[in-house]
Structure 1
């Protein structure tokens, strides 16, 4: 591994007709909350185009790729693998260990191992549970993979992802108590 460690999010699977917005929102959440890249398994097309469009308009860096071989992608990953699943161990018990494994500092900056965060769309193979270094549950109750990803990234980066600087943005949202204001650059 050379350079700055990377955080990638693999959206495992895509149920056509059911996950159109969910897959896109996994990618947008990954982007907004500190990941460097989203990898969409079996879900290219408009979903990757939407995420790329948002990155172009609101800044990056962030990239999107599509894979038709997610198992090979996981197998070939050179770094730490976290699988977000309601069947895993509670984040409260694993948070410090995961942060140490990937070398995340107190300020949320990553300085160690590349990290692949896997979120499923459909039933996940038992093989993934074995391949993952950590099977992490945000809660052991049924819930959204988008919510799990958001909570996990916030815990990983200790909130520092909320202060991220966006590069090459065509548009910037100006925070307001009321109304909406977007500035064109």
Structure 2
């Protein structure tokens, strides 16, 4: 990153990725995580094509020098390890406490955050073994939208000003049309 922005260290855990069904949504979870300031994403389940696709996007659009993408076999173990090492775990669910009530507290922590988003029905274990169950709203909604809104609230919009030093392409903002230039 350039332009001196330093954001809280946050990672995303995508639960129960099903390659035949979730490829597009999980890709978008990872792209949002990267674009909105997370340092990486852990994907529960095997999908080498998905991992390659996400890594290719970071090589072209930036972040490959710091954005970590990894598959894991057991999300519960990761959550337990994260908490045992002093990190904070946050499960985004429509059944949780509204993010507005907790975002100030979460912003004050100086330890890495693990933000958990589901795919299929989330095992009740997560509701009882995380530090926070947070809701963007108490209506059904997309995990992609929930993650984007949460990260934006966490970083107070600063993530929207990120410039990825290692990007090969860069968008030049315009009122009309599209302009993309090669870096370096």
TM-score by length of structure 2 reads 0.89
The 1:56/1:98 distance shift into structure 2, 3 A limit, reads: same
SS at match of 2:90: strand
Could you tell me which runs of 5 or more consecutive residues in structure 2 were left unpaired when the two chains were aligned: 1-6
RMSD: 1.4
TM-aligned CA deviation for residue 93 of structure 1? 1.3
Q: Name the counterpart of 1:64.
A: 69
Q: Which runs of 4+ in 1 moved over 4 A?
A: none
The 1:62/1:42 distance shift into structure 2, 3 A limit, reads: same
Q: Name the counterpart of 2:33.
A: 30
Superposition pairs of residues 78-89 of structure 1, within 5 angstroms: 78=85, 79-89=87-97
**Which of 166, 169, 174 is matched with 1:168 structurally?**
166
TM-aligned CA deviation for residue 98 of structure 1? 1.6
TM-aligned CA deviation for residue 164 of structure 1? 1.1
Structure-1 separation of matches of 2:159 and 2:76: 29
Structure-2 separation of matches of 1:162 and 1:125: 33
Q: Name the counterpart of 1:90.
A: 98
SS at match of 1:18: helix
Could you tell me which runs of 5 or more consecutive residues in structure 1 were left unpaired when the two chains were aligned: 103-111
What are the Cα deviations for residues 26-61 of structure 1, in whole angstroms up to 9, with x where unaligned?
Answer: 000000000000111114222211111111001113
